Structure 1
Amino acid sequence: MSHPIQHHDSEAVLKYLAAARRFKSQEDIATILGVNARQVRRWEARESDPPPYLSYALQQVLPLETSDPNAGKDAAFTFIDLFAGIGGIRQAFDSIGGHCVFTSEWDSYAQKTYLYNYPNNHQINGDITQIAAKDIPDHDVLLGGFPCQPFSIAGVSKKNALGREHGFNDETQGTLFFDICRIIDEKKPRAFLLENVKNLTSHDKGRTFDVIKRSLEQLGYTMSYRVIDGAHFVPQHRERILIVGFRNDLKIDFDLHALVLPPKGEHKLGDILHKTDGSEPYLPWDDNAYFDHKMKKQLDKYTLTDNLWTYLQNYAAKHKAQGNGFGFGLVTKESVTRTLSARYYKDGSEILVSQGKTKNPRRLTPRECARLMGFPDTFKIPVSDTRAYKQFGNSVVVDVMAHVANAMLPYLIEAKIMKSKRAKKAA
C-alpha cells in the first residue's frame, strides 16, 4: 500500500500539503519538513514555491492509500528497484517499457535525487530489512545493485559435516543479499538482474560468490554472470559484474557471454565535457550551476587550487619513487578515464581534466559526471556538488544496463505470453 504520485512539481507538493493540513498543524508540518512554520505559511499563501522533493516527506503524513490498480497495466513487464541509489538501473528498464512498482533506498539524499527524476505511483521505501516480503507488490523482474558483504560459513560447514541440508537462510542471514533472497523466495519473479563490483567473485576468497550462486540456484533460478566494462559505452573504465537469472520453469537459455558489446575506445572524454564553443545546451534545471554560458566555460571553482595541485603532484612523486602506482589521473579530450569513485568529491584525483600548461587541471562538474555515467541531460541534480559526486560515483553506467535490459526484453515478453496462455487454458 502506498500513495499515488504522478509528478513532483511544486503544484503536486502544494496538493500534498493541503491534504496533510487536514491532519496536522502548520507547526507540526514545519517540524516534519525541517523548516519553520512561517515558511509553510508562505507556501500555502503561494508567496514562494516549495521544493519538489518534499512530496516524499509529505506522503508520510497522509494515511496510506491503495495504489491505482490500473497503473502500468499496459507495461511490457513490472519490476522492483532495490538498493536503488539515484535510479540508474531503473532508467534502463523504464526505457524498454517496464513499470516500476516498488523502490527501496535508505539514503535520504539519494531519495531526493530519485524523486526529482522519476514519476512514481508509489512511495520510496527506506530500510529494506524492515519490510516484509509479503508486503512488496508482485513483479516480473527484481533489480538490485546490492552492497557486497562477507558471509559466515561456520554454520554451513557444521551442517555439511552433519550431512544436513542447508539453504540461503542459513548462509545469508544478516547480509543485505539475504533480503534479495527472501523477496525472490516469496514473490518468485520471472527474472532478476543484480549488479556488483568486479571482484565479487574473489571476495572473501570466493566464498561470497559461492554462497550467492548456490542460494539463487536453490531458489529455482538459472543464472548467468559477466564482468562488463563501461568503456564499451562511455569514456570511462568501469568494470562491474552483472548477474542475470530466469526462473527454471520458464526454460529460458540466457547467456550474458553471448551478448555482443560495441568496441571500446569509440567514446572519448571530449564527448561528455562542457562545450566551450557556444554549443553547450542551456539546461534550466542546472541554471548555470556548473557552466557559465555567458563566458562559455565551466565555473572556476572546479579548477584545483595551487595548494591542492601541488599536494597531489608531490604525493604522486613520492609513491612513484617507492615503486607504487598511486597518483592522480590527468586526462584530455581524447582520454578514457579511470573509474569515477564516490570519493571524487575529496580531491578529484582519479579524473583531472588538463587545462594546458599555464592553468591547473580541474575536476569534472557534476553534470559532466552524470554524462560520464550515461545519464541524459534531462536528469536533474537537486543536491550539492559533494552529494552529487558521491551519488554518481556509486551509480551504474546507464548504457550498460540498457544494453542488458534490451537483451532480456524478448525473454520477458515471451514469459508474459506463456503466463497469459496458461491463465486462459486454466480458465
Structure 2
Amino acid sequence: MTPAPLPDLLKQARTRFTQRQIADHVGKDVKTVRRWEKGETPCPAMLEAALRELLRTPAATRVPEAPRFRFVDLFAGIGGIRMGFEAHGGQCVFTSEWNEFSKKTYIENHGADHRFIGDIVSFPAADVPAHDVLLAGFPCQPFSIAGVSKKNALGRPHGFECTTQGTLFFDVARIIAARRPAAFLLENVKNLLSHDRGRTFEVILQTLRDELGYEVHYRVIDGSHFTPQHRERIILVGFREPSAFSWDDLRLPADGPRLGAILHRTDGSEPLLPWDGDRFFDHAARCVQPRYTLTPGLWTYLQQYAEKHRAAGNGFGFGMATADSVTRTLSARYHKDGSEILVHQGNAQRPRRLTPRECARLMGFPDTFRIPVSDTQAYRQFGNSVVMPVMREVARIMLPHLGVATSTAAVKRRSVRTAAALAA
C-alpha cells in the first residue's frame, strides 16, 4: 500500500485530535498547525514520523494539554510579550489594546478566542478574569527621552503629569490590587529610571511594593543579546509571595547576532512566505523592493542634516549599518525617514530602510508572524514593540516562582489523571 502523503496524514489526525494536541505532539504552535491545514504553508516532511506515531496513539489517552499558567495582556500592542510567555505554556485569557491597527495585527496572529477590549481606563478591574500573571508594556512615550524632549518642546506635561498616558500605570496598579495575580511583568524604556530625577520610578516602586505588597525586582536588559539591535528596556517583575527569584538565572548570550542575520538574502535562499509574497522582496530578481531605497532628495537632506549637527558638535545624524553591525534602537518614527537604521548598499547606491519583515526579525518575531497593515503602521508597531526573545527568557526564569502548579511534572500528572478518567 502506498503511504499516505503528509496532507492526508494531517487530515486523518484532525479527525481525532485537536490542533493543540497535534501542535504539542510535533513540537509546534497551534498557529503553525492551522496554517498547514489551510495550505498556507507546507507541513515539513520531517514530521511524517511524528504524525504516524500520533495516529497510532489511542484517542482516549490523548487529552488537551493543560495550560501551565494563565495571563492577561494589557497594552498588548502586537503581542510580543504574550509570545514570550506562550512559549512556556501560558494561556492568554484577556487582552487590552486600544489602537485599531495594532489590534488588527494582534488578532491576525493570535486570534481572538477570549475577551479583547480597547481602552483599559474605563474597564472595571473586577471584570478582568482571574489570572496568574499580569503582563503590561504600559505606554512609554511620557518617560522616553524622545517623548520627554518632544513634550518639553511643546510645553506639555510628561510622566505622571501627562494625563493621557503617564497615569496608565495606575490602571495597571488598580487591576493588580483587585485581582492579586501571583506575579506581574511590566516593561518600559530605560529612561523611566531617571525620569524626573528618579522620582517617577520611586512612585512606581512605592506603589508596587508598599501599597500592593509585592516583592519587586527590576533590571535593564539590552535586546542585543538576542537580536542585532541595541534596545535597552527596563523590566519589572513582581511576586505576591516571597520568592527566590534572581536575575542571575538569565541566560544572555555574550555575543549576539549581527544585522546580516535578519536581512533579506539575495543568494536565492530568501524564503517565499505566502503571506508576504513579493511585498518586501522581489524573489525573481533576488533583491529588496526598490521603494525601500532612499530617494535622492531624502538622502541629500539626511547628509546635510548630519553635517549641520556635526559642525555644531552634536551627535545627531543618521545611523549607517552594514551586515556586521548591531543597529541603533528601532523607533516608532522609523516610517518617517528611516534615519536611525540605514542599510548600506555599496558606495554606488543610496542606502535603504529596513523592510517591515526585517523589522519584525530585528524584534525577534518569527517569519510566521503576519504583517496585515501598511508599511507605515508596521514600522510604528515594531518600533513600539519588545524584543520577543527577551520576554521569553524572562518568562523562563519567572516560571518556577509563580506559586502555581506550573511544573512539567505537575502538568503531566494532571494529564495522566484526566486520561485515566477518560479511559474509565
TM category (shorter chain) comes to: 0.7 to 0.9
1:314 CA drift (Å): 0.6
Q: 2:401 aligns with which of 385, 388, 411?
A: 411
Judge conservation of contact 2:68–2:406 (CA < 8 Å) in 1: no
1:416 CA drift (Å): 2.8
- The residue that corresponds to 2:343 in the other structure is 353
Judge conservation of contact 2:244–2:401 (CA < 8 Å) in 1: no
Q: Is 1:117 aligned to residue 109 of structure 2? A: yes
- The residue that corresponds to 1:402 in the other structure is 392
One-letter amino acid of the counterpart of residue 111, structure 1? K
Q: Secondary structure at the match of 1:101?
A: strand
Change in Cα spacing, 1:187 to 1:173, as seen in structure 2 (3 Å) is farther
Aligned mates of 1:339, 1:174 — CA distance in 2 = 22
Q: Is 1:129 aligned to residue 121 of structure 2? A: yes
Change in Cα spacing, 1:111 to 1:338, as seen in structure 2 (3 Å) is same
Judge conservation of contact 1:345–1:385 (CA < 8 Å) in 2: yes
Q: Secondary structure at the match of 2:303?
A: helix
Aligned mates of 1:108, 1:94 — CA distance in 2 = 23
Change in Cα spacing, 1:372 to 1:150, as seen in structure 2 (3 Å) is closer
Q: Is 1:245 aligned to residue 235 of structure 2? A: no
- The residue that corresponds to 2:130 in the other structure is 138
Q: 1:196 aligns with which of 169, 188, 191?
A: 188
Aligned mates of 2:165, 2:365 — CA distance in 1 = 35
Normalising by structure 2, report the TM-score: 0.74
Aligned mates of 2:83, 2:318 — CA distance in 1 = 31
Aligned mates of 1:322, 1:175 — CA distance in 2 = 37
Aligned mates of 1:103, 1:340 — CA distance in 2 = 25
Aligned mates of 1:201, 1:368 — CA distance in 2 = 30
Aligned mates of 1:100, 1:91 — CA distance in 2 = 10
One-letter amino acid of the counterpart of residue 358, structure 1? A
1:120 CA drift (Å): 3.0
One-letter amino acid of the counterpart of residue 181, structure 1? A
Judge conservation of contact 1:302–1:365 (CA < 8 Å) in 2: yes
Normalising by structure 1, report the TM-score: 0.74
- The residue that corresponds to 1:93 in the other structure is 85
- The residue that corresponds to 2:294 in the other structure is 304
Aligned mates of 1:149, 1:109 — CA distance in 2 = 18
Judge conservation of contact 1:111–1:124 (CA < 8 Å) in 2: no
Q: Secondary structure at the match of 1:415?
A: coil
Q: Is 1:256 aligned to residue 247 of structure 2? A: yes
Judge conservation of contact 2:249–2:397 (CA < 8 Å) in 1: no
Q: Secondary structure at the match of 1:337?
A: coil
Change in Cα spacing, 1:150 to 1:111, as seen in structure 2 (3 Å) is closer
- The residue that corresponds to 1:283 in the other structure is 273
Judge conservation of contact 2:139–2:165 (CA < 8 Å) in 1: no
- The residue that corresponds to 2:172 in the other structure is 180
Q: 2:382 aligns with which of 389, 392, 398?
A: 392
The CA deviation string for residues 224-263 of structure 1, in whole angstroms up to 9 with x for no partner, is 000000001100000000000011xx32121225524211
Q: 2:324 aligns with which of 334, 346, 361?
A: 334
One-letter amino acid of the counterpart of residue 405, structure 2? K
One-letter amino acid of the counterpart of residue 363, structure 2? M
Aligned mates of 1:319, 1:244 — CA distance in 2 = 40
One-letter amino acid of the counterpart of residue 228, structure 1? I
One-letter amino acid of the counterpart of residue 355, structure 1? Q
How many percent of aligned residue pairs carry the same amino acid? 63
Q: Is 1:107 aligned to residue 99 of structure 2? A: yes
- The residue that corresponds to 1:223 in the other structure is 216
Aligned mates of 2:165, 2:298 — CA distance in 1 = 44
Aligned mates of 2:361, 2:310 — CA distance in 1 = 32
User: How many aligned residue pairs are there?
Assistant: 331
1:351 CA drift (Å): 0.3
Aligned mates of 2:308, 2:140 — CA distance in 1 = 32
One-letter amino acid of the counterpart of residue 78, structure 2? I
1:401 CA drift (Å): 0.5
Aligned mates of 1:407, 1:230 — CA distance in 2 = 17
The CA deviation string for residues 15-56 of structure 1, in whole angstroms up to 9 with x for no partner, is xxxxxxxxxxxxxxxxxxxxxxxxxxxxxxxxxxxxxxxxxx
Aligned mates of 1:173, 1:137 — CA distance in 2 = 24
Q: Secondary structure at the match of 2:200?
A: helix
The CA deviation string for residues 158-214 of structure 1, in whole angstroms up to 9 with x for no partner, is xxxxxxxxxx9xxx9981011111101110000000000001111122111111101
One-letter amino acid of the counterpart of residue 311, structure 1? Y
Aligned mates of 1:392, 1:193 — CA distance in 2 = 20
Q: Secondary structure at the match of 1:177?
A: helix
Judge conservation of contact 1:149–1:175 (CA < 8 Å) in 2: no
Deviation beyond 3 Å, 4+ runs, structure 1: 148-151
Judge conservation of contact 2:215–2:238 (CA < 8 Å) in 1: yes
